[in-house]
Structure 1
Amino acid sequence: MEGPDPSRLPRPVWHHPWKMYRVISGHLGSVGAIAFDPSNEWFCTGSADRTIKIWDVATGKLQLTLTGHTGQIRGLAISSKHTYMFSAGDDKEVKCWDLTQNKVIRSYPGHLSSVYCLATHPTLDVLLTGGRDSVCRIWDIRTQTHVHAFLGHHSTVCSVFTRPTDPQVVTGSHDATIKFWDLRGGKAMSTLTHHKKSVRAMALHPKDQYCFTSASVDNIKKFSLPRGKFLHNMLARQNTIVNTMAVNGEGIIATGGDNGSLWFWDWESGHSFQQSQTTAQPGSLDSEAGMCALSYDVTGTRLVTCGADKTIKMWKQDENATP
């Protein structure tokens, strides 16, 4: 099932190239998770060193280190309604931190192995988690009740996003499928089988919530919502396992690969307008060049990438560049 002819897609618009302006060190292991606070004043990162660190956006300075996990941290999310941060990782734990006290106030036991991804619902007080047990679980944040176990994937659930209207929950898995879920009924609505390899990353457009992209080794694809109609492939091959992806309000997609490649794409045209190769920090192995997580800030003007070489890099557009 092919999408539209690429030659019929809109012409790519020119975007300013992105340049790295800061490297932050402090974690003692691969950095695998990132989330921005809605205030845009700070962001948090989670690492294989089992800590969560909170950094000042403006200066890049470390503000706080939180300990409590006993395994690699793979997922972070910050509530837009409460002073809560959620974390999950290889210790099967899902924790809720109260940021006024900087301590864990709730945990959500139930996953049978590593938890790979999590997300908070934009309007309801529910938390979504996905993990190596192939299940996406839905939790009531306040009561810690396990509301649903979404069963149907045949391998790790490694990406999840949520939106206020149906499908409210979308998951991507190592089984190469994307599933849409009915949050009220607790069952699958539909399954997309366009990818050939595991779907490790997905991104919902922050302004146009009727389209999302998904990334796999074979390609980066764009789908429309709510039906999941295939729109088109991105017009280049990154030729790496894409671990992480984000899109900002201007429609600039950033994708990070296992080999340290950071590519930027135009949302409308599917055209890649910049390919960067980040090098692992001195003293690391080449295999540690990999990008594990990335996120735009709330304004979409800064990008933060997290690496297997234990560093965090901050990027912004080069305003002096011209076409």
Structure 2
Amino acid sequence: MNNEDPQEEYWNKHVIMGFLLSGFFLFGNFFYLSHMTWLFAPVTSQVIAKPNRVVFQVLSFLLTQRNLSTAALWREFLHVLNGMLHGRTTESLVATWDGIWETHSGKLKLTLTGHIGQVRGLAVSSRHPHMMFSVGDDKLVKCWDLERDKVVGSYHGHLSGVYCLALHPTLDVLLTGGRDSVCRVWDIRTNMQYRAFSGHADTVCSVFSRSTDPQVITGSHDSTIKLWDLRSGNSMATLTHHKKSVRALAKHPTQESFASASADNIKKFSLPRGEFLHNTLSQQKTIVNAMAVNQEGVLATGGDNGSLWFWDWKSGHSFQQSQTTVQPGSLDSEAGIYALSYDITGLRLVTCGADKTIKMWKQDESATPETHPVNIRRF
């Protein structure tokens, strides 16, 4: 993309996070950063920080009894939601498929309807910020105009539910994967399928593309990860290191490497060839549904049992483990974390789970090393 493209400048002012979930989840710990070392502190008092110690605390808590199925976050953006945001450019929204919510007040701002089944994912185009894409169990892939709050395009081709999607960072290309074991490539200008990557033996549940190379990476319930050439449509490599379903992938924002999550372990690979680098040094011992890594190399993973672990990207060491607690009125089986993501700064984290709650974390600038000392023996 041309560096002078106003859409690129426009996009750099906000962030979008797409979540695969059936609800939201709230957990109850704080964590902070001391240079490259992140740690949690218990919620017993107000957390405080000073320079070089980044502390996260609850930003807002949103609870709804509706059947939430997808979420997204917009940050520092005033115009995409049809003028519904007012005030400073630092205001944020959280969008579920039940509607779009203000993070500071928890108020519902907008409701979009169109799918006839559970929505599995959302993504907003960096090249066309007024365009949002959604996928769901109804086999449908839809394009929404966020300025007019309506569907402006549909993509037909999947033979079963669509579980994941990703937009190419520099091309007008949409990637979708689903229960038909196929990753499909769409031209968003024509709404036509450009290519189909066939080779997985089970559901394609995670996908991402690289901006520096025409390459697509997919993860599947068949326990494999495949690397594809976007130009030719051929498979470049099949990674068989996992023994159980690969449910989540996360590429490092600045490094040519990515991580994959499964019930057997979390593994890291290099790009573009997919060489195996290492396993994490311990196991979360659950199905990991979601993962995200920030610019500082802090990998966060959310599990089906409500566990939230933080890892050092370089070493694979888990320096903090947390267990979520379901909200009053929810079942213990609804402790699972279904999605999580950092914002564009890497200093805020959003987690979502099965008990229909969402928790956002922000930097607290009043903590000191004395109030939250780092226990070096843990490392």
Give the secondary structure class of the aligned counterpart of 1:200.
strand
Compute the TM-score of the two structures, normalised by the length of structure 2: 0.76
1:281 pairs, out of 320, 327, 342, with 327
Corresponding residue number in structure 1 for 2:72: 35
Distance in 2 between residues matched to 1:53 and 1:274, nearest whole Å:
33
Q: Aligned residue pairs: how many? A: 306
Match of 1:63 in 2: 109
Note closer, same or farther for the CA distance 1:32–1:255 as it changes in structure 2 (3 Å cut): farther
Counterpart in the other structure of 2:60? 22
SS at match of 2:334: helix
- 1:130 corresponds, among 177, 183, 190, to 177
For residues 278 and 364 of structure 2, the distance between their equivalents in structure 1, rounded to whole angstroms, comes to: 29
Aligned residue in 2 for 1:220? 266
Structure-2 separation of matches of 1:204 and 1:223: 10
Residues 51-110 of structure 1: per-residue CA shift (max 9 Å, x gap): 343233455543222111111111111111111111111111111111111111001111
- Check conservation: 1:33, 1:292, Cα contact below 8 A: no
Quote the Cα distance in structure 2 between the aligned partners of 1:52 and 1:77.
Answer: 16
User: What letter matches 2:101 in structure 1?
Assistant: W
Question: Per the alignment, do residues 251 and 177 of structure 1 end up closer, same or farther by CA in structure 2, a change over 3 Å counting?
Answer: same
Distance 1:81 1:129 in 2: 18
Name the residue aligned to 1:243.
289
Task: State the match for 1:152 in structure 2.
Answer: 199
Give the Cα separation in 1 of the matches to 2:310 and 2:243. 23
The structure-2 alpha-carbon separation of the partners of 1:262 and 1:32, relative to structure 1 and needing over 3 Å to count, comes to farther
Distance 1:230 1:96 in 2: 36
The amino acid that maps onto 1:151 is S
In 2 relative to 1, CA 52–212 (structure 1 residues): closer, same or farther, beyond 3 Å? Answer: farther
**Equivalent pair of 1:32/1:307 in contact (CA under 8 Å):** no
Farther off after superposition, 250-259 or 35-44:
35-44
Q: CA deviation at 1:264?
A: 1.1
Matching residue of 1:78 = 124
2:284 is the alignment partner of 1:261 = no
Instruction: State the alpha-carbon separation in 2 of the partners of residues 307 and 54 from structure 1.
Output: 17
User: Percent same amino acid among aligned pairs?
Assistant: 67
Aligned equivalents of 1:67 and 1:257: distance in 2? 29
Q: How far does the alpha carbon of each residue in 1:165-217 deviate from its partner, in whole angstroms, 9 at most, with x for none?
A: 33521000000000011111112111111111011001011122x01110000
Q: Is the 8 A contact 1:27 1:311 kept in 2?
A: no
What's 2:147 paired with? 100
- Structure-2 separation of matches of 1:201 and 1:181: 17
Q: What displacement does 1:36 show?
A: 3.3
**How far does residue 276 in structure 1 lie from its aligned partner after superposition?**
1.4
Q: d(CA) in 2 for partners of 1:237 and 1:192?
A: 20
| Residues in 2 aligned to 1:112 and 1:318: alpha-carbon distance in whole angstroms | 47
Give me the whole-angstrom Cα distance separating, in 1, the residues matched to 2:65 and 2:230: 37
Residue number in structure 1 paired with 2:213: 166
Q: Contact between 1:52 and 1:65, CA under 8 Å: does it hold in 2?
A: yes
CA distance 1:112–1:38, change in 2 (3 Å): farther
Q: SS of the counterpart of 1:37?
A: strand
> TM-score w.r.t. structure 1 length?
0.89
d(CA) in 2 for partners of 1:52 and 1:148? 32
Note if contact 1:34-1:43 (Cα within 8 Å) is conserved in structure 2: no
Q: CA RMSD for the aligned pairs? A: 1.9
In the alignment, the residues of structure 1 paired with residue 166 and residue 57 of structure 2 have an alpha-carbon distance, to the nearest angstrom, of 29
Structure 2: any 5+ residue segments left out of the alignment?
A: 1-34, 41-55, 78-90, 375-379
Return the letter of the residue paired with 1:132: R
Letter in 1 for 2:264: D
Contact 2:334 2:355 in 1 (8 A): yes
Q: What's the CA shift for 1:124?
A: 0.4
Classify 1:52/1:206 alpha carbon distance in 2 versus 1 (closer, same or farther; 3 Å). farther
On the 8 A contact 2:310/2:319 being kept in 1, the answer is yes
Look up the match of 1:312: 358
The 1:27–1:162 alpha-carbon spacing in structure 2 relative to 1, beyond 3 Å, is farther
Say if 2:161 and 2:179, in contact at 8 Å, map to a contact too: yes
What secondary structure does 1:287 align onto?
Answer: helix
For 1:230 and 1:181, the matched residues in 2 are separated by 17
